[in-house]
Amino acid sequence: MARITDLLGRGPTFSFEFFPPRSDEEKDRLSQTIQDLEPLHPSFVSVTYRGGRSSRERTTAVVTDIIRSRAITAMPHLVCVAHSRGELRHAAELVELARALGGRSIGVAAHPAGHPRSPDRVSDRRHLAAKMALADFAITQFFFHVDDYLRLREELADLGMSKPVIPGIMPILSLASVKRMSELAGYGVPADVVDRLSPLEDDPKEFRRAGIELACELCRELLDAGAPGLHFYTLNFSKATLEIYRSLELPAQETIA
């Protein structure tokens, strides 16, 4: 299995994120989604938690299944949710532990608007730079404007940090849903995005078209700005990601032994 750091060294990466299923129906849907996206030969995929102790086991199971049954590099997303107090660690300490246990390619999360628990953006960037000094790359939470990413990259550079930061992409297919997820991440949906999409909420087909168009515009701007890749939050569905991928005319990634 290729190391993600090596893949990043070869050029832009294109990757997908999944979450572990809770039911047989969700398991079947995830299996179909992976099957739909596999022909694109993603650089790698990640599998995140959904919260709750049992999610850790399901995340591990999905990653193991992908590695064993498919020619895809897979990365588990570790968080401290549902760990005991003795297991809880700051992200930097978690990275140190992963490295000590033999982790050869470690990524960390980055929040373009700042972590929701950070008192301010200055301290957020300082802590992020400290995490990245121990890790190999970062992947951002989703955001809506290329300037959010450029500001993050510039502020890290001011702290001497130049390791790859992969932007996370979330196509807006439901305004209510993305508003809810944005609030949890401590980042409100910008007014111009709401103004562009809210008049279309009574027309699902047109809303979807506009949401995909917004995501494509952001992806093009990011690639033009030299982003090291794109990481798509699929929500375990393949159609929107496939539409964006084809609209951008991205090539299927080469498989690497």
β-strand partners of 44:
15
Give yes or no: 17 in active site: yes
**Residue tagged active-site, from 17, 93, 201, 217:** 17
88: amino acid identity, one letter: L
Q: 243 and 208 in contact (C-beta within 8 Å)? A: no
Query: What DSSP letter does each residue of 154-179 carry, written as one string?
Result: HHHHHTT--S-EEEEE---S-HHHHH
Q: Radius of gyration of the chain from Cα atoms?
A: 18
The set of residues, in sequence order, having a beta carbon less than 8 Å from that of 65 and lying 6+ positions away, is: none
Per the DSSP assignment, residues forming a β-bridge with 45 are 16, 74
Residues known to be catalytic:
17
